[in-house]
Structures are given as structure tokens and as C-alpha cells.
Amino acid sequence: MDAEREDPTVLPGTGPASPAGDRAMVMVAGLHRFLDRELVAADSAAHSPAPTTTSRPSTTIRREQLARLIGAVDARLPYPSLELVATLDAPALLQRTPGYEVFAVRWPVFEGVDGEGLVLRPRTAVRANVIALPDADWTPEQVAGLAPGLDPSAQFPCRLAERHCQVVVPVLIDRQDTWSGNPAIRMTNQPHREFIYRMAFELGRHIVGYEVQKVLALVDYFTEAVPQNGLPVGVYGYGEGGLLALHSGALDERIGAVAVSGHFRNRRDAWQEPIYRDIWRLLRPADGDHGFGDAHLAVLIAPRGLVVDAVPGPVVSGPPERREGRQGAAPGSLAPAPPEEVRAEVARARPAYDRLGAGDRLVLVEGGSDATPGTPAALDAFIALLAGNAGPDDGARAQSADHSPSGAAPDGPPGSASARPPDPRARQQRQFGQLCRFTQGLLRQAGRRRDAYWSGADPSSLDTWQRSTAHYRAALWDDVLGRCPPPSLAPNPRSRRVYDRPHWTGYEVLLDVWPDVFAAGVLLVPKDLKPGERRPVVVCQHGLEGRPEDVIDHPGSVYHDFAARLADRGYIVYAPQNPYIGGDAFRGAVRKAHLLGWTIYSFIFAQQQVTLGWLRGLDFVDPSRIAYYGLSYGGKTAMRIPAVLTDYCLSICSGDFNEWIVKCASVDLPMSYMFTGEYEMFEFDLGNTFNYAEMAGLIAPRPFMVERGHRDGVGLDEWVTFEYAKVRRRYADLGIRERTAIAFFEGGHMIHGQDTFAFLDRHLGWVPSRTDTADVSLTR
């Protein structure tokens, strides 16, 4: 130990650290291994004893939780109806066959949002009402046989109509990008589904929830507008439609039977699927209960009928190709589930059905590798579960075909096609535009919802503010950003000298967090420390794809060596390595984390907890004076980490402070994350709970500052000032106006380091050892 302490290449009190290649990418790889173990653990917990609790209080709570996670939370319009879509030139009746008629229809869901599609009405008595959900890239006309593109064997709505079911076929938002003719998406190759997912996720909604609501609006119609016939309601879906069928059946007991085709499987690898299937906490809800994998959704359907139609699901190799600068879509693919995986997932759900004496109501139909959705065996099983074995003429359960959608003509010319089908591109644009406008409306209302959420905060004094906001701090960590388990390893600090400058020495530092996960950074220690002296620390944080060296030893960069300049002024400086590096490598880790209710900040919190504990224990550090100062992505952490970890005494957000929810979800702001490749930015339901003003409120009464270049393209001065005004007002209300400031400068996305350095000196009580002579006047 004495030899180690005398070694000038190792920081006293630490062991030696050996060079290990690209430390940042080793960190990201370690996070993947950690997450893989956690996903296996979540999946194993889901296997332990099968979730057989089906009491009404339990299932009600589970359904409410599921509805929140998929964003199916908005009240649907009352007085449901099914309306014909027709013009003078295009009648609603599209086809008449010997067995059924096909009409173009729509139905109201929310204010300004309709469902659209086709209805296939048997010409004889009806035995059941079925909502048939195609895959997202299949139009209702294709699955109804009115348009080319599908083999007749895949046209399962027709087979249902031939079995005397009235069938509604909704259109789903497709996977095409702006090249499908939709001008609403600019500068991006995102599929329509991803584009809606992004804005909705930030506001606690989801494309899955929106489309489930369209299904449930039809259930409203069948059970409320035409309840007198008592006909059962079922849902049959394939691919993306199978996902919606499964979730709809899990949420609504009015659905008598569900058939899931080409979708049912284990969800541990859902992070590899397209991001519009990204559901927060899918595998590990906040209450520690079983997750919402497919078997668990099946349990919520029990004892009602469920048919798993094990045919190959859709194949999606990735997002639309990048063309003419349009990019930004998240990677993700779909491939058919192996038959053994489907069998295993069905087996997980079976104990719940058996316990309820309904084992025969969970049916697995294996159609083979060449099968198409709606195999005869699956259709027969579905009809038997939904309507029993009664024929269409057996009394009260049969509805007369005289009941028509609003405005339907009872008669028309016999034969085949009667009219040209609706233009699917125009209809897709309507449906897409409605959901965009609805979500942008939620964005405009988000401020009022945050105000309501924060109504329990009491600013009458500093003491009441801190006491009344404690649960908001916990909510930000637990519910929004995600709290990982506490670090499980001793820090075991290791170091090696990497800088030897005239006024300070720099050491790379490694600290253990969990197996395979570590914290890393560079500590700059002034050479003029006196025995027993304790100095303030400034944590200097790099941005996206950055490294500690960027803030220390790259004078021409946007950081202007601000860590080195602060060390020259006599501060102790720590520059952490954060894991937002490696492009899709770290973003893939975020996708895995979302399944468990975690974000990139979940790992940074744990790394920071270990780092702060170690820093506070150094005999030359004043533990009450540790400040945080970050640029860009480092500015994002400067908003979130000190808001939760109160060991930070001060925070400075540079090149990031914004009306953050608008920045993430607006389709009108040119620099919005709606149009970029940073698909990990979106934090579920943040818009209704915490904007940057609210995060700054959690930093209060500690000092907080914003550094903003007028030419910084991450935002607009007007939006930055709008959000900061709320921070300034809060600090003024608390009687601590002098503890907050905003510094504008003539420049771009960079550290300026003038007013901010003075802010640090003032609030950390430090008189600089030397004057900062760096020239940071360069505009970027």
C-alpha cells in the first residue's frame, strides 16, 4: 500500500488502472451485458408461477396500468355510431357478393379523430360482430378482396363474413414514410407509425393506445348503440393487427373472444422490433408485478376465448430507406416467431385458463410455415368460442341484416363490385393527420396538466417547498427516468495519471457499480493544495458522443477546454465519461432499458451515486461544494441529475435549456427531435409531469444557471426565455432570486465560460488562483 501511495502515476488511495482500449465503448458493452441479465431475470420472474390471479380488483388494477402504459387514457366520444363514407360520385356500397355487402365506413373516437375502414355485412342473419385487424401495411381493401396484393387465403375478413359475422376492418397507420405521398413528415425517413410514436410517447400516449381506442370505439358501438340483439363481439388480428387485438382483448371484457395471428411470442427481445412497439415498463411494471408480455395479456383475457393462430408474422427488415437527406428513423425489424417460442408462451398462459376451468378456451392452432392468417382451423375455433355452435338462424342471438350502418341503402344491384374503392393514400393521410393534430393538441395543453400535477407543491417558504417537493423528486426518478437497483459492488477505485500540467495533475479514475458496469472519468487535482485544505469540485460534463478529453484538452472544440480552465483557476475538476456514445450501440441499450422502466439516465444516476460517494470521501474535497456544469447532452444531465441527487450544490445547464417538451414533440419547431436520429430522447409521459422549469424547481433552493448562445441551433431564444422565466419566477417567489441567472452570449452551441465562471466563484465561495485568459469569442 505504501508503495502505491508513493507511485506518482496513481492517485493516493486508489489502486492502479491499466489502459483498456476504448473505455467508453467498453462501458456501453458492459451496460448491454447488465441489461441482458436483467431482461432474463424479468422473463424468469414472469415464468414463476404463472400469473393466475384473476380476481376483479386485481385485473382492474392491471388493466388500468396497461391502459396507461400504452397511452389508452383519453375518454372516447359518447354516442358511438358507424357512419357510411360516401359522396355523390362515390357511393358507400363497394361490393355485393351472394353472401355479404361491403361498405366504406367511419366512426368517431375522439374529438377530431375517427376510425375508418370497411364493414362486411352478411345478407342473411348475423351471428356475431367481429373487428378484423389487418397488418399495418395491408389495406382494408386488400384483406376484403377489393384490391390486389394479397392471396385470397389471407383475406380472413371475407371468411368471417361468409361465416355470418358482421366484420369491420379498420385501416391502421402504415409503415411508409413521406414518400408515400404524405407531406406532413419533413426531413425524415421515419415510418408513419414511428412519427406518431415519438410525439405521443413524450405525452404519455402511444400509437398502440390510439389504435386500441379505435377498436374499443367499435366495441362501444356494438354494445351500446345496438345492444338489443345481444350479439357477441370478437377481435381477430394479424401482425400489427394481432398486437392490437391482444391488447384490446386484455383491456375490455366486452370482447368475447380474441384471435391473434402472426404475433404471439415472448417479448424479451422486443427491443429489436420497430420502435413504434416500444412500450415503457413492458416487462417490469413499477409495482413489481408481472409484466405485460403476451402470456400475461392472455391472462387478462381469461376466461374468455383466445385463439393463437401460429402463422408466420410479417417480415420487416427495417425502416424505409434513406433518400435525399431524409433520415432519422430508428432501426428495428420483424421476423416470424419460431413455433417452439409460440408454444412456450401459450404454455405460460395455460395455468390461468386451467385454474378458471376454461382450459379449452385457450386454443393454439399451428398452421405451418406457409400458412396465411385466418387458417380454417383458427377461424372455426374463433367462431366456436365467440358465438358457440349455433347457426345463424338460431333465435335471439342472430341479428337481422336489416340493421344497417347510418345511412345505408338496403338494396342495390346484385353481382360483384359496385363502386371504386376509396383512395387508400388519401384515407391514410387523413388518419395520420388526425392523430398528429390530436397529439399536437395534447402538447398545447401539457403546461396546464403539469400545473395540475404540481398543485401539491407549496412555495410559501423554503422549508415547505423542500418538504412538499420531495415526492416529486422521487417520481421523477422512479416513474419517469427510472431507478435501477442500488450499486451492488464496492467502488474499488483505480487510477492512472494521464495529464501533468503546470498547475494540476490529471488522473483517469475507474469505479465499480455492478458486474460489467463501471463509472469512469478524469480527475484534475491542483498542485497548490495545502495540507488539510478542502476545495470545491466542478463536475464538467461532455455532450453526445463525447469523452472526458473533449472538455480538457481540445482547445478548438465547442467545450473550449472549460474543465482545464477551471482547474487552472484552482478548482478540483472531475470530467465523467457518460454512456451516450456509440450511436445505435448505446441507443440499443436504451431500447432494452425501456422494457424495464429505465432510461440512459438510470445508469448515469447509479454511476453518479458511486462517483459522488467517492469524491466526498477524498480528504482534499469539500463535500458541501460539488457543482455540475454540462454542455448539450451534458446539459440534459445537468437538468436531471442534480434535480434528483441533492449532493450537488449547484447546476449549470449550457447549450440545452429549452421548452423541452416542445423541443421533443412539436412538428412546427425546425430543430425538434421529431426529425432527427436521436430516437432515444423521448421519456414516457414527461410532458405531463416535468418540463425544464419543474426540474429546476427540484434543484431549488440550490443555485441554478442557464448558459445560452444566441446562435445555438438547439433552440430559439424565445422558447428558452419563455421556459426560464418560470424558473426565475419560482426562485423569486422563494426569496432566492440571486441564486439563479441566465447568461446570453453572441455565439453558438458551445461553452462560453464567462458569466458561468463568475457564477461558480460566487456560489462556491472561491477566489480563483489565476485569471482565465482563454479566448472564447469565436462564434459557432
Per DSSP, what are the bridge partners of residue 512?
Answer: 518
By CB neighbour count within 10 A (0-12 exposed, 13-18 middle, 19+ buried), where does 556 fall? exposed
Q: Is the pLDDT of residue 778 over 60?
A: no
Question: In which band, very low, low, confident or very high, does the pLDDT at 322 lie, cut at 50, 70 and 90?
Answer: confident
189-246 confidence digits (pLDDT tens): 999 999 999 999 999 999 999 999 999 999 999 999 876 578 999 999 999 999 999 9
Q: Is the pLDDT of residue 46 over 80?
A: no
549-600 confidence digits (pLDDT tens): 999 999 889 999 999 999 999 999 999 999 999 999 999 999 999 999 999 9
507-549 confidence digits (pLDDT tens): 999 999 999 999 999 999 999 999 999 999 999 999 999 999 9
Query: What confidence score (pLDDT) does residue 239 get?
Result: 98
DSSP at 329: P
Q: Is the pLDDT of residue 184 over 80?
A: no
Dmax (CA) of the chain: 100
Position with higher pLDDT, 325 vs 647: 647
Write the DSSP string, 462-489. Answer: HHHHHHHTHHHHHHIIIIII--PPPP-S
Lowest mean pLDDT among 395-409, 491-505, 612-626: 395-409
Query: What confidence score (pLDDT) does residue 402 get?
Result: 45
Question: In which band, very low, low, confident or very high, does the pLDDT at 737 lie, cut at 50, 70 and 90?
Answer: very high
**Average pLDDT over every residue of 395-402:** 45
Write the DSSP string, 525-554. Answer: EETTPPTT--EEEEEEE--TT--HHHHHS-
Query: What confidence score (pLDDT) does residue 775 get?
Result: 54
User: Mean pLDDT score of the chain, rounded to an integer?
Assistant: 92
**Average pLDDT over every residue of 106-121:** 98
Query: What confidence score (pLDDT) does residue 287 get?
Result: 66
Q: Is the pLDDT of residue 423 over 70?
A: yes
Q: Is the pLDDT of residue 404 over 70?
A: no
Torsion sign over Cα 602, 603, 608, 614: positive
Query: What confidence score (pLDDT) does residue 288 get?
Result: 61
For 639, other C-beta atoms within 10 Å of its C-beta total: 27
Q: Is the pLDDT of residue 618 over 60?
A: yes
696-721 confidence digits (pLDDT tens): 999 999 999 999 999 999 999 999 99
The distance from CA 364 to its chain's CA centroid, rounded to whole angstroms, is 31
The verdict on whether omega for the bond into residue 303 sits within 30 degrees of 0, i.e. cis, is: yes
**Average pLDDT over every residue of 715-743:** 98
Query: What confidence score (pLDDT) does residue 88 get?
Result: 86
Asked if 708 contacts 721 with a C-beta cutoff of 8 angstroms, the reply is: no
**Average pLDDT over every residue of 71-75:** 98
**Average pLDDT over every residue of 102-114:** 98
How far apart CA 450 and CA 326 sit, in angstroms, is 34
Q: Is the pLDDT of residue 414 over 90?
A: no
Query: What confidence score (pLDDT) does residue 320 get?
Result: 87
**Average pLDDT over every residue of 101-119:** 98
Question: In which band, very low, low, confident or very high, does the pLDDT at 406 lie, cut at 50, 70 and 90?
Answer: low
Question: In which band, very low, low, confident or very high, does the pLDDT at 186 lie, cut at 50, 70 and 90?
Answer: low
Q: Is the pLDDT of residue 411 over 50?
A: no
Position with higher pLDDT, 606 vs 185: 606
Question: In which band, very low, low, confident or very high, does the pLDDT at 325 lie, cut at 50, 70 and 90?
Answer: low
The distance from CA 452 to its chain's CA centroid, rounded to whole angstroms, is 23
CA distances in angstroms from 769 to 226, 628, 714, 776, listed in the order given: 82, 20, 34, 20
DSSP at 658: S
How far apart CA 9 and CA 4 sit, in angstroms, is 9
Query: What confidence score (pLDDT) does residue 225 get?
Result: 83
Instruction: Pick the closest to residue 142 from 127, 157, 125 (CA basis).
Output: 157
Q: Is the pLDDT of residue 327 over 90?
A: no
CB hemisphere CA count around 424 (13 angstroms): 19
Query: What confidence score (pLDDT) does residue 298 get?
Result: 98
Contacts of 501 (CB under 8 A, 6+ apart): 564, 567
The distance from CA 775 to its chain's CA centroid, rounded to whole angstroms, is 42
Question: In which band, very low, low, confident or very high, does the pLDDT at 642 lie, cut at 50, 70 and 90?
Answer: very high
